[in-house]
Structure 1
Amino acid sequence: MSSPANARESAEPAVPGEDEAPIVHLVDVTSGQVLYSRNADRRFIPASMTKVMTVFLAFELIEEGKLSPAQVMTIREDTWREWAQKGSTMFLPADARVRVGDLIGGIANISANDGSIMLAEGYAGSVEAWVDAMNAKARELGLSNTHYGTPNGWPDEGRTFTSAADLVRLGQAMVERHPDKFARYVGRPEYTFNNITQPNRDPMIGRVAGADGIKTGFTNEAGFGFLGTANRNGQRLMFVIAGVDRNALRARLSRQLIEWGFSNFDRRRIFARGAVVGEARVQGGASRSIPLVADRNVYVNVPTNATGPISASIVYDGPVRAPISSGVEIAHLRISVPGMDPAIVPLVAGKDVDQAGFLGRIWNGVAGWFG
């Protein structure tokens, strides 16, 4: 949904934050549908929401075996001097020796600026090298409106920026690629390190059913922002609110927006996981077509007062060239709902298709002449 007008036409009551937050983006990440969006691609300063990428990068490195939660890092003396009690902090001591897992917990839950720098330097050798890795990961994820200048979002004259659409895409990658790590490290109501307990500033945890993260952000320049999510009965909504001028307003809008998302749409299952949705043409393969399969239960959200049919079409660059491995994403299902932007759902190959042998290539060529 690309404008507030569409949202007003398709659902009542009015969308929370329409007139109070300059940037709002709400997505059902389980269906790929945008439920409401305003200025989703506008670049803004994320402040401490920058740390989402620092945590995600740490998760990726752990998954790749390049970093271990049990690994112990030592803080540099210059780092301690610069970051001791500077903004949000873990209150790392001058001689801190800290497990990576504890650093990640401090970054994710109490927005530890000092912990972010310690992790960056401890793994990459320098903040600059860690930031380079953050930007490389952003490019890998297709975050076209994002650039990082710091690991923690400390003001850097605008070098660090992102967009709401990019932040949701990053949050979705964190949840889907690393569900166990997300559950372990993110979304704690409070966090204790070195016998100091601090509350998580997340405005939904403990107040909204299913809320489990992700990250708030604030500087005087950026205002108040939040990348938030909640999961109910297998449906995960994720949103960004940014540029809000008061903490209390951010909290109220966040809770209202997520409840609006869960209550103003009928959720319908279109295909079951494993269902064959269609087929794609194959070039140079032992088979001339390949079944396209849903790798998840496919749901669609329909505004409660919507009228008109739901339609779906398969989109891919074809024909697909053999060889093809089963389970590889090769197409998308585009689901159109009246009054909403289309939902885009990945489709995967339902079987292996090997390259055709010599005679098979001749037969495919002859068959191609006759359609």
Structure 2
Amino acid sequence: MKALALASAAFCLAATPALPASSQAPVPAPVPEDIPVGLLVDLSTGQTLFSREETRRFVPASVTKVMTAYTAFKLIDEGELRPDMRFEYPEELEDAWYNEGSNMFLRAGEQPTIGQLLLGITTVSGNDASVAMAVAATGSLENWVALMNANAAELGMRDTHFGSANGYPDGGQTYTSARDLAKLGRAIVEQYPGLYDRYFGHRSLRWRDIAQVNHDPVTGRVDGADGMKTGYTREAGFTFLGSAERNGRRLVMVLAGAPDGRTRDETARALLEWGFDAFEQELIMPARVGVGRALVQDGAESSVVLRTPKPVIAALPQGADTSRWEMEIEYRGPIQAPVIAGDRIAQLRLTLGGETMLEVPLEAAETVPQANAFQRVANALKKWLA
């Protein structure tokens, strides 16, 4: 079995001027103790800025509808659905879902478009709009839920299972974690940015003569905020998956189990503001910089240069002293030849003051072909003489 190879070094970065060391402790995240689950991730760097019980499973309630929207976006992107397609709402769905929890108030015989159903899902959290989307797209709720779970598996949401299209109480079949919801949040904004901008972030919706407002606590209240979804059931408490973008930085946050809506909403706004204000982005290393070498087995060369595939940017606490970092390279090696330039074969961990700030992939800077017979002999002699 290949061993995990480690290389450690301390290095200074002349290109990144040191910030003055702060004489005060960093401002703590404004998440009260009576909210049991919380997470804030900087998508632009991949860093977790705040975490509390991020893998703890909980009932997401209506936040489930973000996966329903994601599933619809994916089908639209694949050409299986069109926003202008119409669906005739059947009587059996009206009987089951009219005025049942949050609602778009669809009536049997109405023919909303897929786009209108999406707005009903994302803006007023329509339980009826969600099941209408499921039946319109796949013919049944069972087929739709299977598709939701397949998408969750594809996204690596290991602590998630969906039992419904809308998150209505289902005896515990639907559950997730903050870490998994952050993965979903990243996927929906990065994979389908046009559809996300089109269907999320609306403040109100009118269907027939019924006007309703969006209960999203951050859009229009926090600069750059654009969604995503609140949730509440008696067993789940008050939950929120939200996001905001400023100057190229996008944050995704999750709160779960808040004791009341006011606490959830105020904390959501405060946490996003804290994420933008308490951290600043710094360029740690430019792209394609060599940072070390990895051993190669049965190759024309005995090692290969490792480099950064893209600029290494970190979100650092305001006032942090960045004059000196510690770097650790990890890989399972030696790497079996051939190695192709651009292969992601290692990971760089950056720590500051003993705390891991960032982990980024490293790629091979050059191609190392398999050794020929002469080179294998030479490599064997090198090992014997070493």
TM-score by length of 2: 0.82
**Stretch of structure 1 that moved more, 25-34 or 189-198:** 189-198
Aligned to 1:230: 244
Q: Is the 8 A contact 2:241 2:254 kept in 1?
A: yes
Question: Is the contact made by 1:264 and 1:304 (CA closer than 8 Å) also made in structure 2?
Answer: yes
Query: Is it true that 1:310 corresponds to 2:307 in the alignment?
Result: no
Given that residues 238 and 256 in structure 2 are in contact (C-alpha distance below 8 angstroms), is that contact kept between their aligned partners in structure 1?
Answer: yes
1:195-344 map, 5 Å: 196-273=210-287, 289=304, 292-295=307-310, 297-307=311-321, 309-318=324-333, 319=335, 322=338, 324=340, 329-338=344-353, 340-344=355-359
1:134–1:290 Cα change, 3 Å: farther
Q: Distance in 2 between matches of 1:65 and 1:10?
A: 54
CA contact (8 A) 1:202 1:216 kept: yes
1:345 aligns with: 360
CA 1:307–1:66 in 2, change beyond 3 Å: closer, same or farther? same
CA change 1:128–1:211 in 2 (3 A) is same
Alignment of 1:47-196 (within 5 A): 47-194=61-208, 196=210
Superposed displacement of residue 12, structure 1: 3.9
Q: Which moved more, 1:337-346 or 1:244-253?
A: 337-346
The SS at the match of 1:294 is coil
Distance in 1 (CA, whole Å) between partners of 2:81 and 2:183 is: 24
Contact preservation (8 Å) 1:34, 1:341: no
Which residue number corresponds to residue 6 of structure 1?
none
CA offset at residue 148 of structure 1? 0.8
The one-letter amino acid paired with 1:228 is G
What secondary structure is seen at the aligned counterpart in 1 of 2:360?
strand
Counterparts of 2:277 and 2:26, CA distance in 1: 10
Alpha-carbon shift at residue 127 of structure 1 (Å): 1.0
Is the 1:45–1:160 Cα contact (8 Å) retained in structure 2? yes
SS at match of 1:227: strand
Deviation, 1:30, is 1.1
CA distance in 2 between partners of 1:100 and 1:276 (Å): 49
Structure 1 range deviating more: 271-280 or 201-210: 271-280
Q: Residue 174 of structure 2 aligns to a residue in which SS? A: coil
Q: Tell me the CA shift for residue 330 of structure 1.
A: 4.7
Larger Rg: 2
Give the direction of change, closer, same or farther, for the CA distance of 1:247–1:324 in structure 2 (3 Å limit).
Answer: same
Shift of 1:15: 2.1
Amino acid at match of 1:185: Y
The 8 Å contact of residues 281 and 316 in structure 2, kept in 1 or not, is answered as yes
Relative distance call for 1:83 and 1:13 in structure 2 (3 A) is same
CA deviation after TM superposition for structure 1 residue 345, in Å = 2.8
Cα distance in 2 for residues equivalent to 1:10 and 1:144:
39
| C-alpha distance in structure 1 between counterparts of 2:45 and 2:227, whole Å | 19
Task: Report what 2:3 is aligned to.
Answer: none
Following superposition, the deviation at residue 159 of structure 1 comes to: 1.0
Amino acid at match of 2:257: G
Residue range with higher mean Cα deviation, 101-110 or 32-41 = 101-110
RMSD, matched Cα: 2.9
Between 39-48 and 119-128, the greater mean CA deviation after superposition = 119-128
Task: Provide the identity percentage.
Answer: 41
Structure 1 residue 250: Cα displacement: 0.9
TM-score, normalized by length of structure 1?
0.85
Q: Tell me by how many angstroms 1:74 deviates.
A: 2.5
Q: Give SS of 1:98's match.
A: coil
Aligned-pair CA distance for 1:118 = 1.0
Deviation at 1:302, TM superposition (A): 2.1
**How far apart, CA to CA, are the structure 1 residues paired with 2:32 and 2:337?**
46
Cα distance in 1, alignment partners of residues 32 and 165 from structure 2: 31
Residue 35 of structure 1 pairs with residue 49 of structure 2: yes
Deviation of the 1:10 alpha carbon:
8.5
Deviation digits for residues 324-348 of structure 1 (CA, Å, limit 9, x no counterpart): 585x655443222336444223455
Contact in 1 for aligned 2:26/2:317 (Cα 8 Å): no
SS of equivalent residue, structure 1 residue 88: coil
**Counterpart-to-counterpart distance in 2, 1:60 and 1:316:** 34
Secondary structure at 1:74's aligned position in 2?
Answer: coil
Q: Secondary structure at the match of 2:271?
A: helix
